[in-house]
């Protein structure tokens, strides 16, 4: 592997000033030092695609990053250009987890092992146990033998023993048997998630799996009904039987009804993302067709579908008092999208700074969303997408839409969502590494890398991430999913093309107003009571 060093000029964006200095490629970073004190740094893992051009005595490298930035490097010397390009290409696509940067990153002020104390199933179980006695924490998956993509502990109906869980797991794709995702105390109902049942063409049944879902209804509000929200179309679910999958037959699960709410996933979703980013980056396009291009990307249609499915789920729980099981096929993508959004709609706690982090940890990271596979490439890669899909980004976009419609109800601001997007795709922290808890254990992620949460919870960061307008809203948030109410998330998709100043200036002003209020609150003289009454 060649590591290059050369004189270069860096162009960070259409209206940004150029940086000139010595360019250098290290094992994990691209460095440019424009002066003795300054250092510009790019994590090589962030590079999504690289394009090189040489002309005469110099060359140009265009780096398209996973966080959607486009950088241009003008490098002196043809040989140097090619060397650096080769190095970046090789180093940015390394797949080994344990040699990745998080295993070497040792920032000042953070201690290894800090903030890995998020043990969502356990800590969440404590919350559930306060509210109901019908559920228990099971360590049946202690060594990940039942389900490799589940964490060690899961919350299951008290009435079902570990042996039955094991049998149910064998009846579900990837062993993802139904587990509790959220307990809605107000209506006494629960939200569950799983993968598809392996009914196959013979329409197999599994008594333990049926028993599990029966126990769910028995443990809920008396007379509660169940709904299975299948994130595939009825057609697709039926076809899945041919490949050994399927869906819950009504006769086998009394009290449960099925709803199909097809959500886009996999490659079409990735392509939608790619097309949208392409449209947003095309500054030369004729001005007339922006809206039809936006329509052609279908991204906003996916946002609408995801939000309305989550709303329907939440509505079923709060308004109809029903228990809801969500699954698609594998139960690691659109399933998590729906369950996490439904919680955000219903649960005021999950809208706090800590609660939202916990939600992401519990419903995405621990629940086995395969981040490594899904976020291997972002929107610029020319490689044929294999497992990539921006499901997590779709989730963040839906959260942003919710925050736009309820600007006072989320304790965190857009900056947290942007940070999560960046770190999911390329991060010096270990939080989003690997595809499951099992893999993270094997790689010793918890002991060898720093947690993103400990960085985000530093006071300096918090000020950037908090929503100064936040006021606790104890109610459910019912967003509008009409097209008129959903907008392109400019802060993300146009982040590097629109001028950043106006929103920042506004943000400062909001802080100023709110801080002034707090100051006057604090400076109320406590001595006033000693004033003698005239």
Partner 1 sequence: HLKLRQVENVRLVDRASSKKAVLGTLYLTATHVIFVENTPDTRKETWILHSQISTIEKQATTATGCPLLIRCKDFQIVQLVIPQERDCHDVYVSLIRLTRPVKYEELYCFSFNPKLDKEEREQGWMLVDLGEEYKRMGLPNNYWQLSDVNRDYRVCDSYPSELYVPKSATAHLIVGSSKFRSRRRFPALCYYYKDNHASICRSSQPLSGFSARCLEDEQMLQAIRKANPGSDFIYVVDTRPKLNAMANRAAGKGYENEDNYSNIKFQFIGIENIHVMRNSLQKMLEVCELKSPSMSDFLWGLENSGWLRHIKAIMDAGIFIAKAVSEEGISVLVHCSDGWDRTAQVCSVASLLLDPHYRTLKGFMILIEKDWISFGHKFNHRYGNLDGDPKEISPVADQFIECVWQLMEQFPCAFEFNERFLIHVQHHIYSCQFGNFLCNSQKEREELRIQERTYSLWAHLWKNRADYLNPLFRADHSQTQGTLHLPATPCNFMYKFWSGMYNRFEKGMQPRQSVTDYLMAVKEETQQLEEELETLEERLEKIQKVQLNRTEVKSKQSEPGRHSGFSTSDNSMANTPQDYSGNMRSFPSRSPSQGDEDSALILTQDNLKSSDPELSANSDQESGVEDLSCRSPSGGERATSEDSSKDRDSDEAVFLTA
Q: Which of residues 503-522 bind partner 1 (CB under 8 A)?
A: 503, 505-506, 509-510, 513-514, 516-517, 520-521
Q: Which of 125, 150, 227, 400 binds partner 1 (CB under 8 A)?
A: 227
Any contact of residue 526 with partner 1 (CB under 8 A)?
yes
The torsion of the CA quartet 127, 128, 130, 135, rounded to 10 degrees, works out to -150
Query: Whole-angstrom Cα distance, residue 187 to residue 242?
Result: 38
User: How far from the centroid of its chain's Cα atoms is residue 515's Cα?
Assistant: 31
* Least distance in angstroms from the C-beta of 476 to partner 1: 7
Closer CB to partner 1, 315 or 378, in the complex: 315
Q: Which of residues 281-320 bind partner 1 (CB under 8 A)?
A: 283-285, 287-292, 294-295, 298, 300-301, 304, 308-309, 311-312, 314-316, 319-320
Letters for 420-459 (x = contact with partner 1 by CB under 8 A, - = none) are ----------------------------------------
* Least distance in angstroms from the C-beta of 515 to partner 1: 10
* Least distance in angstroms from the C-beta of 413 to partner 1: 12
Query: Whole-angstrom Cα distance, residue 338 to residue 76?
Result: 51
Any contact of residue 469 with partner 1 (CB under 8 A)?
yes
Q: Which of 1, 202, 460, 471 binds partner 1 (CB under 8 A)?
A: 471
* Least distance in angstroms from the C-beta of 264 to partner 1: 12
* Least distance in angstroms from the C-beta of 257 to partner 1: 3
Answer for the pair 260, 248: CB distance below 8 angstroms, yes or no.
Answer: no
Q: Which of 119, 158, 170, 186 binds partner 1 (CB under 8 A)?
A: 186
Q: Which of 201, 254, 268, 499 binds partner 1 (CB under 8 A)?
A: 499
Query: Whole-angstrom Cα distance, residue 59 to residue 8?
Result: 9
Closer CB to partner 1, 34 or 468, in the complex: 468
Q: Which of 488, 489, 495, 496 binds partner 1 (CB under 8 A)?
A: 488
Q: Which of residues 252-281 bind partner 1 (CB under 8 A)?
A: 257-260, 280
Closer CB to partner 1, 212 or 306, in the complex: 306
Any contact of residue 107 with partner 1 (CB under 8 A)?
no
Answer for the pair 254, 353: CB distance below 8 angstroms, yes or no.
Answer: no
Q: Is 371 helix (H, G, I), strand (E, B) or coil?
A: helix
> Where do runs of H (alpha helix) occur along 132-174?
162-170
Q: Which of 407, 458, 463, 464 binds partner 1 (CB under 8 A)?
A: 407
Closer CB to partner 1, 96 or 533, in the complex: 533
Q: Given the structure tokens 């579900």, which residue do they identify?
A: 172
* Least distance in angstroms from the C-beta of 217 to partner 1: 13
Q: What pairing do the DSSP bridges indicate for beta strands 323-327 and 226-230? A: parallel
Q: Given the structure tokens 């003795």, which residue do they identify?
A: 36
Any contact of residue 532 with partner 1 (CB under 8 A)?
yes
Residue 45's nearest CA partner among 116, 109, 131, 105 is 105
Any contact of residue 242 with partner 1 (CB under 8 A)?
no
Query: Whole-angstrom Cα distance, residue 111 to residue 54?
Result: 45
Distances from the Cα of 258 to the Cα of 173, 220, 252, angstroms: 18, 18, 12
Q: Is 38 helix (H, G, I), strand (E, B) or coil?
A: coil
* Least distance in angstroms from the C-beta of 319 to partner 1: 5
Answer for the pair 432, 426: CB distance below 8 angstroms, yes or no.
Answer: no
Closer CB to partner 1, 37 or 286, in the complex: 286
75 C-beta neighbours (distance < 10 Å), count: 25
* Least distance in angstroms from the C-beta of 285 to partner 1: 8
Query: Whole-angstrom Cα distance, residue 30 to residue 82?
Result: 15
* Least distance in angstroms from the C-beta of 288 to partner 1: 6
Q: Which of residues 339-378 bind partner 1 (CB under 8 A)?
A: none
The answer for 163, left when phi > 0, alpha when psi is -120 to 50, beta otherwise, is alpha
* Least distance in angstroms from the C-beta of 248 to partner 1: 9
Query: Whole-angstrom Cα distance, residue 187 to residue 179?
Result: 19
Distances from the Cα of 90 to the Cα of 84, 378, 426, 484, angstroms: 10, 17, 16, 45
Closer CB to partner 1, 196 or 449, in the complex: 196
The residues that bridge with 19 in the sheet, in sequence order, are 10
Residue 202's nearest CA partner among 235, 249, 161, 241 is 241
Closer CB to partner 1, 214 or 362, in the complex: 214
Q: Which of residues 148-167 bind partner 1 (CB under 8 A)?
A: none
534 C-beta neighbours (distance < 10 Å), count: 3
Any contact of residue 36 with partner 1 (CB under 8 A)?
no
* Least distance in angstroms from the C-beta of 481 to partner 1: 6
Closer CB to partner 1, 55 or 505, in the complex: 505
Any contact of residue 415 with partner 1 (CB under 8 A)?
no
Q: Which stretch binds partner 1 (CB under 8 A): 83-91, 398-406, 433-441, 449-457?
A: 398-406
Closer CB to partner 1, 91 or 345, in the complex: 345
Distances from the Cα of 351 to the Cα of 471, 474, 477, angstroms: 11, 10, 10
Q: What is the CA radius of gyration of the chain?
A: 25
Closer CB to partner 1, 196 or 309, in the complex: 309
444 C-beta neighbours (distance < 10 Å), count: 12
Closer CB to partner 1, 177 or 299, in the complex: 299
Provide CB contacts within 8 A for 524, sequence distance 6+: none
Closer CB to partner 1, 159 or 259, in the complex: 259
């Amino acid at each position: 592997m060649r590591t290059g060093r050369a004189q270069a000029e860096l162009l960070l964006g259409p209206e940004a000033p150029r940086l000139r200095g010595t360019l250098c490629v290290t094992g994990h970073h691209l460095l440019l030092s424009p002066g003795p004190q300054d250092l510009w740094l790019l994590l090589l893992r962030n590079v999504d695609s690289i394009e090189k051009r040489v002309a005469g005595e110099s060359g140009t490298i265009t780096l398209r990053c996973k966080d959607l930035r486009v950088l241009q490097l003008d490098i002196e010397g043809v040989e140097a250009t090619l060397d650096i390009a080769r190095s970046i290409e090789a180093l940015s696509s390394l797949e080994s987890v344990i040699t990745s940067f998080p295993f070497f990153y040792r920032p000042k002020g953070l201690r290894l092992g800090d903030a890995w104390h998020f043990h969502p199933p356990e800590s969440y179980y404590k919350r559930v146990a306060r509210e109901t006695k019908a559920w228990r924490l099971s360590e049946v998956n202690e060594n990940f033998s039942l389900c490799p993509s589940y964490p060690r502990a899961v919350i299951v109906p008290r009435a079902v023993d570990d042996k039955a869980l094991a049998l149910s797991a064998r009846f579900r794709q990837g062993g993802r048997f139904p587990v509790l995702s959220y307990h809605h105390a107000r209506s006494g109902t629960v939200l569950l998630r799983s993968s598809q049942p392996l009914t196959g063409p013979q329409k197999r049944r599994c008594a333990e799996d049926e028993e599990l879902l029966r126990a769910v209804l028995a443990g809920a509000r008396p007379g509660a009904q169940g709904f299975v929200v299948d994130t595939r179309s009825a057609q697709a679910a039926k076809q899945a039987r041919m490949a050994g999958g399927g869906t819950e037959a009504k006769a086998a699960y009394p009290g449960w009804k099925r709803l199909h709410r097809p959500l886009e996933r996999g490659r079409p979703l990735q392509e939608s993302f790619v097309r949208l980013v392409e449209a947003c980056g095309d500054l030369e396009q004729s001005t007339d067709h922006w809206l039809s291009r936006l329509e052609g990307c279908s991204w906003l249609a996916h946002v609408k579908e995801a939000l309305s499915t989550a709303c329907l789920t939440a509505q079923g729980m709060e308004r109809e008092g029903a228990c809801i099981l969500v699954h698609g096929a594998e139960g690691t993508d659109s399933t998590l999208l729906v369950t996490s959004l439904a919680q955000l709609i219903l649960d005021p706690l999950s809208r706090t700074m800590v609660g939202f982090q916990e939600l992401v940890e519990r419903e995405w990271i621990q629940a086995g969303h395969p981040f490594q596979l899904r976020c291997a490439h972002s929107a610029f890669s020319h490689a044929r997408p294999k497992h990539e899909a921006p499901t997590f980004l779709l989730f963040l976009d839906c959260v942003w839409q919710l925050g736009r419609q309820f600007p006072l109800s989320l304790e965190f601001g857009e900056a947290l969502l942007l940070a999560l997007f960046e770190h999911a795709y390329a991060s010096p922290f270990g939080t989003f590494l690997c595809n499951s808890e099992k893999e993270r254990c094997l790689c010793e992620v918890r002991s060898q890398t720093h947690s993103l949460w400990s960085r985000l919870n530093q006071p300096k960061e918090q000020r950037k991430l908090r929503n100064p307008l936040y006021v606790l809203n104890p109610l459910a948030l019912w967003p509008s999913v009409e097209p008129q109410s959903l907008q392109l998330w400019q802060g993300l998709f146009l982040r590097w093309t629109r001028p950043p100043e106006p929103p920042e200036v506004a943000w400062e002003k909001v802080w100023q107003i709110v801080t002034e209020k707090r100051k006057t609150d604090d400076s109320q003289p406590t001595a006033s009571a000693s004033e003698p009454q005239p």
